[in-house]
Structure formats: C-alpha cells, structure tokens
Amino acid sequence: MTTFTRGFVLRSAAALIILGSLTACGDGSVAVVASTPPAITQLPLALTRVGPQAVQVDWGDDPYVYTFDVLRDGNLLATVNTLSVIDNTVLFNGTYCYQVQGYDATGLLIAATDTGCITIVP
C-alpha cells in the first residue's frame, strides 16, 4: 500500500466515523426551537406616607427574584434586594407613581407590580 493510498483510507475511515456520529444524533437536520420568556409574576404594591415628605414603597416577594428595581415616574429610584424602600425625596403637592420590577440572577425580568400613585398633600 502506497503512502497516498494509506492516507486516503485513513481519511475515508475518519469521515465515516464522523458521519456515523452525526447519524447517531438524528437525521442531520437542524431544528430551531423558539424560546418563550417566562410569564411575569404579578406582585402586590403598597404605598404609605410615613413622614411629611416621605413615602414607603412595599411589595410582595417572589422566591426566584434576585434584585428589585424600584421605579418612580418611570425612572430608576433604587435597586435593592429587600421588599421595602423609603423615598424621602418627595415634595408637597406632588403626585408620584411607583412600580417595582423583579429580576432573576441572570437579569431576566420575572416579576413586577402594577403602577401605583400617591399624592403628597400638606
């Protein structure tokens, strides 16, 4: 057997092994599986005035939430891993709307409250 023939036989055998491995994995076709995001768990929200110009924002827990973003009027107020925040930057005669969003350890949104609003009257 010449060097050329031996190399050809070895390459052919390697190709058959690879093709056999692919056949063992299926018919060789490619399947695309669409991933749907998990449903967002609804959390309760409570807003309580706790001082002349302070609001306590409380929300329910979800065991899979790693961090919570507290939004005031659509802007990030705080990122926490607790179930309560006190906002002491509110002013009299102002209306403030809050929402809390919970994220898992990978950063995926998995829980949220509805938006709740409170007006600070003197």
pTM of the model: 0.70
Q: What is the mean pLDDT of the chain?
A: 85
- For 44, residues 6+ apart whose C-beta sits below 8 A from its C-beta are 59, 60, 113
In the chain, pLDDT over 90 holds for what percent of residues?
66
Interval 86-119: pLDDT, tens: 999 999 999 999 999 999 999 999 999 999 999 9
Q: How many domains does the chain have?
A: 1
| Of 27-41, 76-90, 99-113, the least confident | 27-41
Going 101 to 104 to 108 to 111, the CA torsion angle's sign is: negative
Residue 36 lies in a domain: no
Is the separation of the CB atoms in 39 and 64 below 8 Å?
no
pLDDT at 37 over 80: no
Q: What is the CATH number of the domain that holds 47?
A: 2.60.40.10
Q: Is the pLDDT at 7 greater than 80, yes or no?
A: no
The CA–CA distances, whole Å, from 74 to 7, 34, 96 equal 68, 31, 10
For residue 17, is it within any domain? no
Which domain does 106 fall in, by range? 41-120
Q: Is 79 a member of any domain?
A: yes
Q: Which residues are 73's β-sheet partners?
A: none
Q: Is the pLDDT of residue 1 over 70?
A: no
Q: How far is CA 15 from CA 3, 5, 12, 21, 76, in A?
A: 18, 15, 5, 10, 57
Per cent of the chain over pLDDT 70 is 71
Report if residue 86 sits inside a domain: yes
